[in-house]
Structure 1
Amino acid sequence: MDHEKVNILLVDDQPAKLLAYEVILKDLGENLVIASSGREALEVLLKTEIAVILVDVCMPELDGFELAAMIREHPRFQKTAMIFISAIQVSDIDRLRGYEMGAVDYVPVPVVPEVLRAKIKVFSELYRKTRELERLNQELEDRVRARTAELENSTAKLRESEQRRSMAIAAGKMGSWDWDWITGDWMWDEGQYRIFGVSPESFEVNPANVQALLHPDDVDQLRKAIAEFNSGTRAYETEFRIVRPDGEIRWCVGTAAATIDANGRVVRVSGVTVDITERKRAEERQNLLAREVDHRAKNALALAQSIVRLTRADEVKAYVNAVEGRINALARVHTILSLSSWQGAELSKLIEEELAPYSLGGQIRLAGPEVQLLPATAQTLALALHELFTNSAKYGALSTRSGRLMIAWKAEDDRLTLTWEESGGPLVRTPKSRGFGTRSLLASVESQLGGQAQFDWRAEGLLCRLEVPLTRKTAASPAPGKFDAAAAAELQRASG
């Protein structure tokens, strides 16, 4: 259904980041307004109605916290949704400060496109629905006053007004109703029947039948509304669930207003019902996505922690280089997986990312079909390939111009076989002991993936063969939330 676009204000002092946010959010179909500073953002706000503000915490002159404080001081913007983006680790104190300034959420850098789009979409829809309800409430109040006068003059005018009102709100997932407080008679329009999943021909609108369609946990909302009107309340709004006759549960928001007579008694209650099920489902999807992102981040951090803790070197510079190399390999595969929404990664893409610093003079050849890897398999193989490239560049074929490296792979019966063959480099001798890189490679491939890693230290060059399953059907597959502990344990055993 077509809807009115809302304005999303993007505030950042870096043009590249603003362009990235535009690319991520353009598919939402909303109006994206750009501001390169806090002062420019304030100028935009004074001229334009803004639904959501996406603002960088760290900006020169006027940072995100100061900008939020200035925005909240203006009465027009006290309820405007603000989402902070922070490229630094945000402390609990800073996060609390942000929420006190009016932030509704934080988005860390690097930004996950799906998460950012989901958050912006939820608050845009909330803004749109709020405006719709405000317009409907105003319209409802105007019509209640008009209908009171029409009741005194002509029943025909009342019917005409009711028809116009029903036509106005039937355009969306909305319905309207009237309840005669004196006689107990109800009137529903077409939208109301549609929301509740019943037909005018087979459903009699009365308190008992309406209550039967309410979710058992929300029946008290109806009783509370009646009590509120009896005690003098003139307007009431609440969220509730209905259970359609076919068993489907729908979320709704209901707004009601009372009409009173000259003695101040309630004579009629009129209301609007809006189906907000899709919004609720979007919120659930957002929460699920947020939990998944949190799970992925914890796994990556646990593996990085293991790398830092278990890497060994004789001097500080060598230690730093080793740690940076392994974490950079983890970051590269994380980027590839993020671009695919964590659905997987192409093996050839992983290899190309790792060989980029070494592909000089045609020393490296690749041969193999396109193979899609699961996220866990991709992470493990990325680290394994990094160790092989690093060792080859230090001691093997890639350490000399005459050296050659052939990487070939094939996939058969849901199993990947990758062959690493070096030649033309320095004379190879079988190592007396395995270094951390080799031990961690064996531990991760064999224990984490249920595969095999074989090394043949030939004089003319290393021959390595890796075999890993392409599907995770065995109990070796870590359960959600357990990968970090399992990975750390395997690397700990490898370092021993």
Structure 2
Amino acid sequence: MTEASQDDNREDAHLAGVLAHVSDAVVTVRADGTVAAWNPAAERLFGITADAALGADLHTLLNGAGDRLGDMIAATGRGEAFEREEVDLSLGNGRQLSLSVSLVPVRGGNGAPESMTLIAQDLAGYQAAQRTDALLAAVVSSSDDAIVSKSLEGIITSWNAGAEALLGYTAEEVIGRHISMIAPPGRKDEMPTILARIAAGSRVDHFDTQRLRKDGHLIDVSLTVSPIRDGTGRIIGASKIARDVTERKRNEARTRLLLSELDHRTKNMLAIVQSVLRLTQADNIRDFVSVVEGRVQALARVHTEIAHHRWDGAYLDSLLRMNVTRGVYRDVEIKGGPTVFLGPQAAETIGIVFYELATNAARHGAMSMKGGRVEVDWELTESRDLILRWFEHGSRGLDGQARRGFGMRVIERLVPEQIQGGAQIDWMADGLQCTFTIPSAALAPPPSQIPPDREETLSPSPAPKDSG
């Protein structure tokens, strides 16, 4: 075989490879009207295999080719050319086609036509594809999600308005650059891995990751990446949809925190209940149940107050007032002190302590005696520890030993055991002084907005028959 023949064979093989992958039907016709080439797109369009078409008369093959197409074929044999002529064709296999047809004569060395090339495109499919493309373009353009296309090598080829808003780059700034420009440190390896999956025909669904904005900020995104195919089904790139999930991630983190806090609070509550049960004494089951119910109800009210502040804690004065509301205990003077917000564990503990102090004062202390009264105040030390004082005046005749069984065990032990604070009880001739030290670690920053005074809506449950 001569070198020229080898070159011709190589050219023929190259041409055959090109024709096999184009999306339009391409037919080569000899001067005698027989088919010399019939590509896969022609098979799909006309419904006739290449084996059936090759060597057959084109006019006969296309069921007479119709008046218009037949005239065009004859004219091309005489040297005329046609470009994108619209033609209707009825085939013997029942197909009705509306085509855009181009016919080009192929001339020999003497200038006379030796063959022709017919290129046909399905107008109905083309018009439908145009409408679909226009619709998709409108969706992509108006979408709030970032929609980006890129080659299999990672080169950005399109970038919608959603991508501009999400990532801060304009389309002009990124098209032609590598997609790794938006990958933060430590995540650049994700991109070749994703592109490899796309090239293999897979897609990536709802992949949570992070991307780097133009201003240097990281954002949480969820990615869906799909292959882009050409008319022959060959994968030529990737389409990525990125959705900002920063708020979702923030909510998920908040939910995890709340669940963890709820678990922690529940365990603390059970620890307090266990401590209360251990310290409770009574002469009979009925009294024991009454005492425990009162303390559990008090703890429930404290939990309601904590929940009102999203489990961050409770205000000290709110805990005090819910247990010694003036409408019930008229002889309580709340001298008060600075605004103090207790953390949730401290709020549970001090809430129970206030309940025990008020219950004991009402049943056995100053508020059970004519002329008796209670004063409450508090202050913060330089180290931000809270000093809380409860004074009872006018409870003469009851010494420490006589009142020690009346809830004092709970009062003395809860603060040290639950929040590592201090509790000191001093018995005086005129009554009782309780001083509690709550460490600064048990306090919490107050919410940004102080809740309205709820004194009128908060009231303690009736004091139990007895406590011990």
TM-score, structure 1 normalization: 0.53
Tell me if 1:211 matches 2:180: yes
Aligned to 1:317: 286
Tell me if 1:328 matches 2:302: no
* Pairs within 5 Å for 1:226-237: 226-228=196-198, 230-231=200-201, 236-237=204-205
CA contact 1:333–1:379 (8 Å) conserved in 2 = yes
Give the Cα separation in 2 of the matches to 1:469 and 1:293. Answer: 23
Q: Structure 1 residues 161, 398: CA separation in 2 closer, same or farther (over 3 Å shift)?
A: closer
Aligned-residue identity in percent: 24
Select the structure of larger CA radius of gyration: 2
Code of the aligned partner of 2:286: K
CA contact 1:251–1:276 (8 Å) conserved in 2 = yes
Match of 2:141 among 157, 162, 167: 167
Code of the aligned partner of 1:279: R
Give the Cα separation in 2 of the matches to 1:183 and 1:288. Answer: 38
Code of the aligned partner of 2:193: R
* Pairs within 5 Å for 1:14-33: none
Match of 1:374 among 342, 353, 361: 342
Q: Structure 1 residues 185, 324: CA separation in 2 closer, same or farther (over 3 Å shift)?
A: closer
**Worse overlay, 442-451 or 323-332:** 442-451
TM-aligned CA deviation for residue 433 of structure 1: 8.1
Tell me if 1:341 matches 2:310: yes
Give the Cα separation in 1 of the matches to 2:332 and 2:155. Answer: 84
Tell me if 1:386 matches 2:334: no
User: What is the CA deviation profile of residues 316-368 of structure 1, one whole-angstrom value per residue up to 9, with x for unaligned ones?
Assistant: 122212222222222222221221223443333222221359826x4444333
TM-aligned CA deviation for residue 291 of structure 1: 0.9
Q: Structure 1 residues 452, 187: CA separation in 2 closer, same or farther (over 3 Å shift)?
A: same
TM-aligned CA deviation for residue 149 of structure 1: 8.1
Match of 2:379 among 411, 418, 421: 411
TM-aligned CA deviation for residue 221 of structure 1: 6.4
Tell me if 1:238 matches 2:206: yes
Aligned to 2:244: 275
Deviation >6 Å, runs of 4+: 148-151, 153-162, 181-185
Code of the aligned partner of 2:246: T
Match of 1:442 among 400, 412, 437: 412
Unaligned runs of 5+ in 2: 1-121, 444-468
Q: Structure 1 residues 218, 434: CA separation in 2 closer, same or farther (over 3 Å shift)?
A: farther
Code of the aligned partner of 1:359: V
Q: Structure 1 residues 239, 189: CA separation in 2 closer, same or farther (over 3 Å shift)?
A: same
* Pairs within 5 Å for 1:24-423: 164-169=138-143, 172=144, 174-179=145-150, 186-206=157-177, 209-211=178-180, 213-214=182-183, 216=186, 219-220=189-190, 223-224=193-194, 226-228=196-198, 230-231=200-201, 236-244=204-212, 248-258=217-227, 260-267=229-236, 269-356=238-325, 359=328, 362-369=330-337, 371-375=339-343, 376-400=345-369, 402-413=370-381, 414=384, 415-423=386-394
CA contact 2:195–2:238 (8 Å) conserved in 1 = no
Partner SS, residue 264 of structure 1: coil
Give the Cα separation in 1 of the matches to 2:423 and 2:243. Answer: 58
CA contact 1:313–1:319 (8 Å) conserved in 2 = yes
CA contact 1:178–1:186 (8 Å) conserved in 2 = yes
CA contact 1:445–1:453 (8 Å) conserved in 2 = no
CA contact 1:446–1:453 (8 Å) conserved in 2 = no
Partner SS, residue 398 of structure 1: helix
Aligned to 1:468: 437
CA contact 1:218–1:241 (8 Å) conserved in 2 = no
CA contact 1:367–1:407 (8 Å) conserved in 2 = yes
Code of the aligned partner of 1:190: A
Give the Cα separation in 1 of the matches to 2:433 and 2:325. Answer: 20
Q: Structure 1 residues 466, 177: CA separation in 2 closer, same or farther (over 3 Å shift)?
A: same
Code of the aligned partner of 2:296: I
Q: Structure 1 residues 445, 403: CA separation in 2 closer, same or farther (over 3 Å shift)?
A: farther
Give the Cα separation in 2 of the matches to 1:333 and 1:214. Answer: 49
TM-score, structure 2 normalization: 0.56
- The structure showing larger relative contact order (alpha-carbon pairs under 8 Å, at least 6 residues apart) is 2
Q: Structure 1 residues 329, 378: CA separation in 2 closer, same or farther (over 3 Å shift)?
A: same
**Equivalent residue pairs, number:** 315
Bigger helix share: 1
Unaligned runs of 5+ in 1: 1-147, 475-496
Partner SS, residue 291 of structure 2: helix
**RMSD value over aligned CA atoms?**
4.0
CA contact 1:397–1:404 (8 Å) conserved in 2 = yes
